[in-house]
């Protein structure tokens, strides 16, 4: 199953052109949803205004080399390893889900555009990466959903309580889960179930990419920008218009030692 391209098998019913058009349509939905959300919530306006204020209060002018170094370090460390979550289960779950999702999406596009259709050869490597990405997404996502969510682990809400903010993670998990189920049933010859899971897989993708405006999908683009701006502000002394850290040592009292800290 892991070495089989599920899109190549379904290509006997659905043309590769239709699959490629679907991927392009999903990309367009991401762009439109993100732009509309940015306009409505004025996120871009906030970032530009904040950058202007920081520039006025900066105590040091950064050169191109320094800015490039800060941006590269932020991308690799803060964004690439979600370091703001500290060391722990929450960070590991996010890393599994993040890299699993990236692998899942990239390999989907590669399989559909490069290895699906008449005369196209199969790629066991990309097929394995597709399945691996889906599994990693499920591992990180379900771990987060059942055990690590703030309102579940810290506020004692039941895991099945769903709010609008959960649209992204649930749709993402549905995509990966139904994708794996579709691949397995198709490989094992269960044609009826394979078509059912394929329809559910397509529906989950429509909800995921079509619901960008209402979900936290766009946060994947905001958070890297915010992290870069924060580190640049610390380097040039503007500190996002916040006061410098106090010289006195941090004293929290003995109460802080009563329970293990949780980083959200």
pLDDT for residue 256 is more than 60: no
Read off the pLDDT band of 158 (50, 70, 90): confident
Q: Is residue 47 part of a domain?
A: no
The tally of domains found in the chain comes to 1
Read off the pLDDT band of 243 (50, 70, 90): low
Q: Is residue 93 part of a domain?
A: yes
Q: Is residue 155 part of a domain?
A: yes
Is the Cα torsion angle 202, 204, 209, 214 positive or negative in sign? positive
**Tokens describing residue 18:** 């239709």
Read off the pLDDT band of 86 (50, 70, 90): low
pTM of the model: 0.78
Question: Can you tell me the distance from the alpha carbon of 186 to that of 6, in angstroms, rounded to the nearest whole number?
Answer: 8
Q: Is residue 215 part of a domain?
A: yes
**Lowest mean pLDDT, pick from 64-78, 179-193, 249-263:** 249-263
Q: Is residue 75 part of a domain?
A: no
Percent with pLDDT over 70 in the chain = 81
Mean pLDDT of the chain: 81
Q: Is residue 235 part of a domain?
A: no
Between 164 and 29, the higher pLDDT residue: 29
Q: Is residue 98 part of a domain?
A: yes
Which structural domain range is residue 117 located in? 6-42+87-220
Q: Is residue 26 part of a domain?
A: yes
Region for residue 125 given its phi and psi (left: phi exceeds 0; alpha: psi -120 to 50; beta: otherwise): alpha
DSSP assignment of 133-152, as one string?
Answer: HHHHHHHHHHHIIIII-HHH
Dihedral of the alpha carbons of 32, 35, 36, 40, in degrees to the nearest 10: 170
Between 240 and 91, the higher pLDDT residue: 91
pLDDT for residue 206 is more than 90: yes
pLDDT for residue 220 is more than 70: yes
**Lowest mean pLDDT, pick from 92-106, 147-161, 177-191:** 147-161
């Amino acid at each position: 199953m892991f070495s089989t391209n599920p899109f190549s098998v379904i290509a006997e019913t659905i043309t590769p052109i239709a699959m490629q058009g679907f991927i392009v349509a999903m990309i367009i939905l991401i762009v439109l949803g993100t732009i509309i959300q940015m306009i409505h919530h004025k996120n871009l306006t906030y970032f530009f205004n904040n950058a202007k204020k920081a520039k006025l209060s900066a105590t040091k002018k950064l050169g191109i080399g320094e800015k490039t170094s800060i941006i590269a370090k932020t991308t690799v460390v803060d964004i690439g390893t979600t370091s703001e979550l500290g060391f722990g289960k929450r960070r590991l779950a996010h890393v599994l889900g993040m890299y699993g999702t990236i692998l899942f999406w990239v390999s989907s596009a590669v399989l559909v555009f490069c290895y699906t259709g008449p005369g196209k050869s199969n790629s066991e490597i990309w097929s394995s990466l597709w399945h691996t990405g889906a599994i990693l997404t499920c591992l990180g996502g379900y771990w987060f959903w059942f055990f690590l969510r703030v309102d579940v682990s810290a506020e004692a809400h039941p895991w099945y309580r769903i709010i609008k903010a959960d649209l992204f993670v649930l749709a993402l998990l549905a995509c990966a889960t139904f994708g794996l189920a579709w691949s397995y049933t198709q490989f094992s010859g269960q044609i009826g179930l394979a078509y059912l899971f394929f329809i559910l897989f397509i529906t989950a993708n429509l909800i995921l990419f079509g619901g960008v405006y209402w979900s936290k999908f766009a946060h994947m683009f905001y958070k890297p920008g915010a992290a870069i701006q924060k580190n640049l502000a610390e380097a040039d002394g503007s500190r996002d218009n916040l006061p410098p850290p106090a010289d006195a040592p941090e004293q929290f009292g003995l109460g802080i030692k009563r329970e293990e800290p949780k980083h959200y």
